[in-house]
Amino acid sequence: MPSSNTNESLIKNTSYKVVLPFYIYAALALLVACTLLAISSDVFTQHYFHPKTLAITHTMALGWATMMILGAGHQLMPVLIERRLFSNGLAYLSFIFAATGIPLLVYAFYTFNMNWPAQYGAIFINSAILCYLVNFAISLSKSKLENVHAVFAFTATLWLLLTTLVGLLLVYNFTLNILSEGSLHYLSLHAHMGIIGWLLLMVIGVGSRLLPMFLISKYNQPILLWYIYALINFGLLFFVINQIFLHQIVLYLVPVATILLALILFARYCLAAYRQRIRRQIDEQVKISLFSVLLMSVPLISFIIAIRELFNGKQDTKHVLLYGFSIFFGWITAIIFGMTFKTLPFIIWNKVYSFKAGMGKTPNPKELFSSKIFTAMVITYFAGFILFSAGIYLMEVIVLQLAALLLVATAILYNWNVFVLVFHKHRKE
Amino acid sequence: MNVITNDNFKCSIALVVLRDVIDPEICLSVVDLGLIYQVDFDEEYRNIFVRMTLTTQFCPMGDSIVCAVTHALENSFPEYTVRTTLTFTPPWKNTMISEIGQEYLNK
């Protein structure tokens, strides 16, 4: 009787059971965020420190972006550190804590009830991040490999924990006055630790590994990535110190300059990887992920305008709103759209067809979702994003509402394709 | 990259069979990708020893690709036991892609 053996320890991957709940949760969170956007579009003509704006932002930052990154992180962490995930149990625990905490926090913001729903929500979210961090730290400690991508991802997770800890303090500060200033004063600190420390570091760390891999690029420049790593962390630490101790407006230019330089270097890295690729044909998913790098220019321009206004002693809230909107609904969403349909079909294919590998014809992972729905989603997404950004700038509620409906349509199409994938059953070719 | 073997004739048949095992992300066969390092035939005990690699360790499709290689050879050489070993020494590099593979990717 023929048999076979392989050294499984070298290839054992994270189970789909760990990863799928995060993907499903994130997809539903996007739908909730877009629906909230549609029913509360008018708040985007008001000050950014508004309960409903905070609810939408946290649905996007935690429910959509963070849940998706944590899910994909459990799958990609072994690729980055070349070592299997330490514990599936901690991954499940991380999901349960986050899945419970996020709705509590979003509900608390939406109704501006900063008592127990916000407090329990924040505690649960911190517990989820702690579980992920411990899992990552132990997995990393068992790995013999030290690479820049893993260091990026681990540092990003440390910044995420710091962000959620500051968030926890801010939540309690609403009722207990434990900080010297009001919560609005620390909002910028909390937001930028999350945006730069968590999201930007993670996107650059993982993106710089995946992009050359998907393009089969000859380009490899870890030293450039170390420079980017140093520039971002220096800039962010400088920003934190200035925000807490120094309070010098002119010193804000230092982190702006270092992070801007880091972004330019990363754009150069992506361009070089693209130019030196062996694979000429690029699929739609990679294209939209590459386009997200260009989309970073929208928050950048609005941020520079907001900073200029700060120097002139005035602040137009629309630039800050456009800055936040274009980060979560622009840059981050575009990356996730691309990467969902680059990774999820393979996870599902492995779940459904891996036992049949080499025993007959099976569908290609790319055939497990509808490319027509994907294209329709991309069209409604860009139309909705551009129109909503224009609506913020023009402060026109009707434009905002119309754009929000396009984004709801985008979220429905995204969920449709995700659930087509999740419920895919074995198909005979 | 040339595949090491102790039986050129049978190895060439095995490689034809393995050209049907496709990496679904890159859409190239494991042979043209240069993932197969060695195919040895043990006639005394009827074993086929395959030493292969993956484009990246802990590749999410790694398990399936290794299974596909094993199953494909089992189907074509039913009288043999296929023993597939995964190695990352030397690690895979894109220079290991065959000329046919390079041409396909350059299209």
Question: Which of A115-129, A197-211, A241-255, A335-349 is least confident?
Answer: A241-255
CB contact under 8 A, B105 and A278: yes
pLDDT for position A278: 86
Q: Which residues pair with A351 in a beta bridge?
A: none
Whole-angstrom CA distances from A372 to A189, A340, A376, A377, A405 are 41, 16, 6, 9, 20
pLDDT for position A291: 86
Q: Which two tokens stand for residue A134?
A: 């411990």
pLDDT for position A1: 39
Q: Which two tokens stand for residue A313?
A: 């002693």
| A380 has pLDDT over 80 | yes
DSSP per-residue string spanning A259-281: HHHHHHHHHHHHHHHHHTBS---
Q: What is d(CA A368, CA A341) in angstroms, rounded to the nearest whole number?
A: 10
CA atoms within 13 A on the CB side of A223: 0
More confident: A3 or A158: A158
Mean pLDDT of A290-302: 87
pLDDT band at A11 (very low <50, low <70, confident <90, very high): low
**pLDDT tens for each residue of A337-370:** 999 998 899 899 888 887 777 777 788 888 999 9
Distance from CA of A378 to the nearest CA of B (A): 21
Q: Spell out the domains of chain B, with CATH numbers in brackets.
A: 4-91 (3.30.300.130)
Q: What is d(CA A194, CA A319) in angstroms, rounded to the nearest whole number?
A: 19
Residue A365 in contact with partner chain B when CB distance is under 8 A = yes
B48 close to B81: Cβ distance less than 8 angstroms: yes
Q: Which two tokens stand for residue B51?
A: 């030493």
Residue B75 in contact with partner chain A when CB distance is under 8 A = yes
A231 close to A261: Cβ distance less than 8 angstroms: yes
Give me the residue from A8, A12, A216 closest to B26, CB to CB: A216
**pLDDT tens for each residue of B39-74:** 999 999 999 999 999 988 777 788 889 989 999 999
Q: What is d(CA A160, CA A154) in angstroms, rounded to the nearest whole number?
A: 10
Q: Provide CB contacts within 8 A for A208, sequence distance 6+.
A: A148, A149, A152, A225, A266, A269, A273
Question: For a pLDDT cut of 90, what percent of chain A falls above it?
Answer: 61
Q: Three-state DSSP class for B4?
A: strand
Best of A1, A3, A6 to mutate (most B CBs within 10 Å, chain B): A6
pLDDT for position A428: 62
For B51, name the nearest residue in chain A, comparing CA atoms only: A6
| A2 has pLDDT over 70 | no
**pTM check: above 0.80:** yes
**pLDDT tens for each residue of A170-181:** 999 988 888 887
Best of B31, B58, B82, B83 to mutate (most A CBs within 10 Å, chain A): B58
CB contact under 8 A, A350 and B64: yes
CB contact under 8 A, B58 and A78: yes
CB contact under 8 A, A4 and B84: yes
